[in-house]
Amino acid sequence: MNFLDLPAVKTAQGIVRLPGSKSISNRVLLLAALADGVTVIHDLLASDDTARMLDALKALGVLIVKIDGNDYRVQGVGGQFSMRFPVNEANLFLGNAGTVFRPLTAVLALAQGRYRLTGVARMHKRPIGDLVDALRQLGADITYLGEEGFPPLQIKPAGIHATAITVNGSISSQFLTGLLMALPLAGPIADRARTITVTGELISRPYIELTIALMARFGVQVEQEEWRRFVLHGGQRYRSPGQIFVEGDASSASYFLAAGAIGAGPVRVEGVGQGSFQGDARFAEVLKKMGARIRLGDNWIEARSPESGSLRAIEFDCNHIPDAAMTLAMAALFAKGTTTLRNIASWRVKETDRLAAMAKELRKLGAAVDEGPDFLRVTPPDGSLTAHAVIDTYDDHRMAMCFSLASFGAPIRINEPDCVAKTFPDYFEKFAAIVGV
């Protein structure tokens, strides 16, 4: 088995330049492919997930050229309704990339082609039924090739007719993101607007804010009414903004900011700052609630340990920062008291069942953990963390990155560390560069 042994460390200090945001990278790639005109994308994330989007778009006939470093030139296919990809029949393997599978399902359902979408075994266990149900309301022809409600999928040409659809917002915000991004391709019906109504609680709202903001950069405006109803007026089409820059990944920033808060600091991350589009940039505010000293600039965030030296436990609703909330569970190991993270049911349908996985691996370190259907309660051990615990990562990049922080309490072993390639291939090198004994 592939593994990485991390020595015990005490301090963290330095500057980390963040890789591009996965959420922004894959949204921008798809929007650029759908737009009228050429878009130059700067600082695209280089990772497994973005590779899946690049491969899929190229397989669909989109002309994409790498021009320098992580910059790409994308020739859009038109940006309007009745849009067709140059390749109208394809088998697409999308790995375990939810930011590819869900939005691309919605777009291809309206693209009047024949497509088969598959992924790894875990992707075939991640629900997609709510998105398919909503697309079928529009008239899309989608067939499950395996278990009902889950990938893989077969998509065929269909007549798109409905103007009002509903979608469940409580499982994944990627369903609503996919619908919003695809809807301009459906075209107007007698100049009537198309609407999406969300049922259930809309989780991860900042990701929807990000989707709407990026759509606006490509010329399509979405009106929202109390985050329950979304309106897209007819006659809009995607148009290239010419060039667009990808922010650093705020979810990835959380590990280094937590390191600064635990290991004295200061640790500064560059590439994301105040005014960021990304919801996980708010992670810094939560660290501040735990006592960390936080500074923000236009393009950077910096974290230090509390003046008292110890973080304090909190109870927090994590609906708006579901990915970065995993890092809070690790920070809880170094906080006084019991930390409770709520509203994290979406963890169960991610790359792995993150609620169960986090609970199991935290217990290996000696923490007392209470796992519920949508919450996690973490109490650190009375003494030191358990030394030389062997942490399983479940082929989940965020599990591997999160548990690197346990090395502030004891030496540990991370199994299958290469899974970080999904979003941050050189994570452990950058982590090692800021920590010290």
Domain stop point among 178, 201, 233: 233
At 169-179, the pLDDT tens digits run 999 999 999 99
Report whether pLDDT(191) > 90: no
* Residue 202, in any domain of the structure: yes
Q: Which of 43, 49, 323, 392 is catalytic?
A: 323
Same domain, 306 and 171: no
Domain boundary among 210, 233, 256: 233
Q: Do residues 393 and 272 share a domain?
A: yes
Question: Does a cis peptide bond (omega within 30 degrees of 0) precede residue 411?
Answer: no
Both 306 and 217 in one domain: the answer is no
pLDDT at 3: 97
Tokens matching residue 193: 């607007």
Supply the pLDDT for residue 267.
Answer: 98
Same domain flag for 269 and 136 = no
Q: Do 68 and 82 fall into the same domain?
A: yes
Shared domain for 104 and 13, answered yes or no, is no
Per-residue burial over 168-200, b = 16 or more CB atoms within 10 Å of its CB, e = otherwise: bbebbbbbbbbbbbbbbbbbbeeeeebbbebee
**Measured distance CA(342)–CA(356) in Å, rounded:** 14
Q: How far apart are CA 42 and CA 80, in angstroms?
A: 24
Query: Are 187 and 283 in a shared domain?
Result: no
Tell me, rounded to whole angstroms, the distance of Cα 133 from its chain centroid: 23
| Domain, as residue range, for 340 | 3-19+248-436
Please check whether residue 51 lies inside any domain of the structure: yes
The answer to whether residue 380 sits within a structural domain is yes
pLDDT top residue among 159 and 187: 159
Place of tokens 């899929």: 56
Task: Give pLDDT tens digits for 33-79.
Answer: 999 999 999 999 999 999 999 999 999 999 999 998 999 999 999 85
337: confidence class by pLDDT, cuts 50, 70, 90: very high
Q: Classify 431 as helix, strand or coil.
A: helix
| Residue 366 three-state SS | coil
Is the dihedral angle over the CA atoms 378, 285, 384, 9 positive or is it negative?
A: positive
Q: Does residue 103 share a domain with residue 51? A: yes
Q: Does residue 431 share a domain with residue 367?
A: yes
Q: What per-residue confidence (pLDDT) applies to 413? A: 98
Strands 153-156 and 114-118: antiparallel
Closest CA to 97 of 181, 30, 169: 30
Q: Which CATH number is 89's domain given?
A: 3.65.10.10
CB 116 within 8 A of CB 154: yes
What average pLDDT score do residues 319-330 get? 93
pLDDT of residue 308: 87
Residues 6+ apart with CB under 8 A from 121: none
Distance in angstroms (rounded) separating the CA atoms of residues 334 and 77: 51
> Residue 256 above 90 pLDDT?
yes
Residue 316 has pLDDT above 70, yes or no: yes
Same domain, 389 and 305: yes
- pTM of the complete model: 0.90
Q: Is residue 328 part of a domain?
A: yes
Look at residue 234 in the predicted model and tell me its pLDDT. Answer: 84
Task: For residue 236, give the nearest of 297, 186, 166, 167 by alpha carbon.
Answer: 186
Rounded percentage of the chain residues whose pLDDT exceeds 70:
98
What angle do the packed helices 205-217 and 173-182 form, to 10 degrees? Answer: 20
- Using a pLDDT cut of 90, give the percent of the chain over it: 88
Under DSSP, the state recorded for 34 is H
Q: Is residue 306 part of a domain?
A: yes
Count up the domains in the chain and report the number. 2
Q: Identify the pLDDT of residue 82.
A: 58
The answer to whether 353 is a known catalytic residue is: no
Does some domain include residue 240?
no
Contact 346, 322 (CB under 8 A): yes
Say if residue 305 is in the same domain as residue 221.
no
pLDDT of residue 18: 95
pLDDT reported for residue 81: 52
pLDDT tops 90 at residue 84: no
Whether the per-residue pLDDT at 187 is higher than 80: the answer is no
Lowest mean pLDDT among 80-84, 167-171, 316-320, 347-351: 80-84
Specify the amino acid at residue 95: G
Would 156 be classed as within a structural domain?
no
Tell me whether strands 3-6 and 375-379 are parallel, antiparallel or unpaired. unpaired
Task: With beta carbons less than 8 A apart as the criterion, state whether 109 and 117 touch.
Answer: no
Q: In this structure, are 413 and 425 located in the same domain?
A: yes
